[in-house]
Amino acid sequence: MPRILIVGGGYAGFYTARKLEKYLGKNEAEVTMVDPLPYMTYQPFLPEVAVGSIEPRHAVVSHRRHLRRTEIITGRVSDVSHKDKKVTIEVPGLAPFDREYDYVVVTAGAVSRTFPIPGVAEFAIGMKTIEEAVEVRHRILTNFDKAANLPEGPERARLMSYVVIGGGFAGIEAFAEMLSLATYLLRYYPTLKFEEINFHLVEAMGRIMPEVSLKTSHWVLKNLANRNAKVHLDTQLLSAHNGVVELSNGQKFESDTIVWTAGVMANPVAKHTDLPSDERGRILANPALQVVDGDTPIEGAWTAGDVAAVPDLTGDGVAGYCVPNAQHAVRQGKLMAKNLVAAIRGEGLKNYFHKNMGAVAGLGIGVGVFQYRNFAVTGFLAWLMHRGYHGLAMPMWERKIRVFGGWVANFVLRRDVVSINAIKEPRLAFETWASRPKS
């Protein structure tokens, strides 16, 4: 039986495996998926996880539960040697081992892209994983608890200052959601005042959200300004050393929470393969999702999603390639499965073609924007569209129901403001009181 090995079980990898289970006949091929995480993450929900509108577990999809015919290896691929048709896999507690394949599908996604700015690597946090989103929520709630006990002064101001770097879609959503939570929390903290909350968004370009029209982006800027947030356009972060934020517009202040959302880059695992990549580190693909050397497909090598440079045949792409987003990754994953099955059966391959469906963003409870070409919706209706679209786009009905159920529960019971931050030291209580042998 041909062996298919999928590197990465996010959007593109998960959908490839799921559709292969559907299309492949019994004993037609063996499918293995390798991912260091046992779940795929629905990343558009991260801003809502970061403010408690969605439970962290509800925003991820278990590989083992939903891929019953796929062999799952919870480990990290460290190397792909396509000339030998084998990958090297690292699993905690075991020596690295090799796994041979006939077809490799590289869908390892992207990672946060940073610049060598002092303090960023040590102090900032991304918004790319569920763990980061959970930490941001813990941080906001814990900082409010700490600040409420302090007299007004620099330490209280530091705890109440929040900075997001990057005014793209993910950054603005995270920023606006965090602002919405912080404003809501004030009702439980009578000693803290609205004017004390300092929210700064730093964007190097002259505008935010390039995915929407300029007019819509201005609407968002006005909405944020009305909510007491400061957006610094044409401004760069110069330093974040020890949480002291220095901006290129001369402003300097301290913050305990700096969220970095200024772009992504192809997963560096692409460099640990012998597959051709472009100057941005993306593996080169043709529209049928085969890895290519020039125009020639490399037999048995396939790629999709954020790690891949897939030509955008609609003409809407950036420099001719699909932009890194979930719309593409999901559809490429589905096509990948069809094309793999066709390749195994010796049938013809289909090209990837997807016209952008527009963009929808949630900006805190009751506020959103939707943009499709020149048509825009802003405010409450757009927020409903955001929740409706993403709630239904979440893979698997059992997950959709959990997400919608959580929203309904929050609507009826109000926002949940509990933070179990002590989970970071789960043994502390036990260890403190544990009896020890007399020395």
In the set 58, 103, 109, 229, which binds ligand FAD (CB under 6 A)?
109
Is residue 371 within a helix (H) or strand (E), and if so which, with residue range? strand 368-372
What is the footprint of ligand FAD within residues 38-57 (CB under 6 A)? 40, 43-44, 46-47
Query: Smaller CB distance to ligand FAD: residue 45 or 123?
Result: 45
Measured in degrees and rounded to the nearest 5, phi and psi for residue 397 equal -60, -35
Segment near ligand FAD (CB under 6 A); pick from 134-142, 285-293, 322-330, 408-416: 322-330
311 binds ligand FAD per the rule CB under 6 A: no
| Cβ count near 277 (within 10 Å) | 18
Binding mask 3-22 for ligand FAD (x = CB under 6 A): ----xxxxxxx---------
Write out the DSSP string of 53-69.
SS-GGGGEEEHHHH-TT
Query: Smaller CB distance to ligand FAD: residue 36 or 391?
Result: 36
CB of 325 to ligand FAD, least distance (A): 3
Distance between CA atoms of 37 and 108, rounded to whole angstroms?
12
300 binds ligand FAD per the rule CB under 6 A: no
| Cβ count near 358 (within 10 Å) | 17
312 binds ligand FAD per the rule CB under 6 A: no
The residue whose two tokens read 């705890």 is 159
Segment near ligand FAD (CB under 6 A); pick from 96-104, 180-188, 303-311, 363-371: 303-311
Collapsing DSSP to helix, strand or coil, 45 comes out as: helix
In the set 19, 128, 137, 399, which binds ligand FAD (CB under 6 A)?
128
E runs forming strands in 168-316: 198-202, 229-232, 237-239, 244-247, 252-254, 257-260, 264-266, 283-284, 290-293, 296-303, 308-309
- Given a contact cutoff of 8 angstroms between Cβ atoms, the answer to whether 322 and 310 are in contact is yes
Query: Smaller CB distance to ligand FAD: residue 108 or 197?
Result: 108
Binding mask 375-414 for ligand FAD (x = CB under 6 A): ----------------------------------------
Distance between CA atoms of 59 and 206, rounded to whole angstroms?
33
Positions that interact with ligand FAD (CB under 6 A):
7-13, 34-37, 40, 43-44, 46-47, 76-77, 107-109, 127-128, 169-170, 267, 269, 305-307, 324-327, 329
